[in-house]
Structure 1
């Protein structure tokens, strides 16, 4: 009994660390988009610096997971839970990297006046953050049905991405001097689309965790 309790405590600690990592990554995504809109270059630099903390947390999660596998000889379902946590932390780290890329795009634009009011990018951000929340809830509740539902939201993200990039590139012929800014806006849409993909990958991990089967939910 004691060993099992010890294992469960360790697994819970692993999940707590993962929750902390997700919270930080989500803040990075939110901050990067508001920084992109407000053109707060000081804050953009802070977002880039903060990435170190998230990378460190991912390393700690990896070490704890490896230690658990090595010392506890977990049974199949427990092993799946540890491996899922490992994979998810890696996806979350990539989500945070994309937030950093958005902050870098903000720096590339600098204080140059925006060619248009940025309304659609925040909507896309809301959608990918909802996907991330949904995917993580499915992980903490072991809900494969919910996980598949999150993955379906990705179609909407892809659709928005296609529409936005098409619209942005359409501005270039009339405003050739704003090509750099337009490109950075298009890149930012691409980074958000990638965050949606990483959230879909998290959902896939949950389906694997619950069913033991691998699904490719990225169409």
Structure 2
């Protein structure tokens, strides 16, 4: 994932890529089709130049030096239907609009260390999403059921987040190869939301190469050892 971010930074220096601070958009060449944008926004609302929204060409949107951003401009999603990468880490974003479901081509969503307290159920409509980083959310306690519909997800990072309720059947994400923040639960009741996952869910996640397990004291030692021993593709295991 870090390699991907570094490559994005390099791409911003090539054709069709641009980086600027809020207020510099007046100098944009209207003939340039911007597909990669790195934006520093000093206000509390993430805003894009009207030209970029009208072009509807943007593939990569990355914020930097924007810790004060708390909300997203209402009409942004309308012009980002081709977006592949959305990186809003280290901002103060508190919520995502339900309209995020319209970003049907989104592959990479990074919301690391933001102030989001709730994720919309509509996140489950991001059918092509491969990487979801929602680590370090101090106010996020519940993951939406929609997470389990992200069948193409390869990387899920939810570590350092005080989760108390998660959707059952995380084992449906069979393409996962990187999972940070698998919280072990004690509740075996057949409900949609549980306090943590049963280790048996890992039996369906046979492609995992990197796994972080949290609240391991809740797990059955004998059963857990057998399940982990059968994960033949696993290369890194961290237990907390």
Give the TM-score taking structure 2 as reference length.
0.21
More strand by share: 2
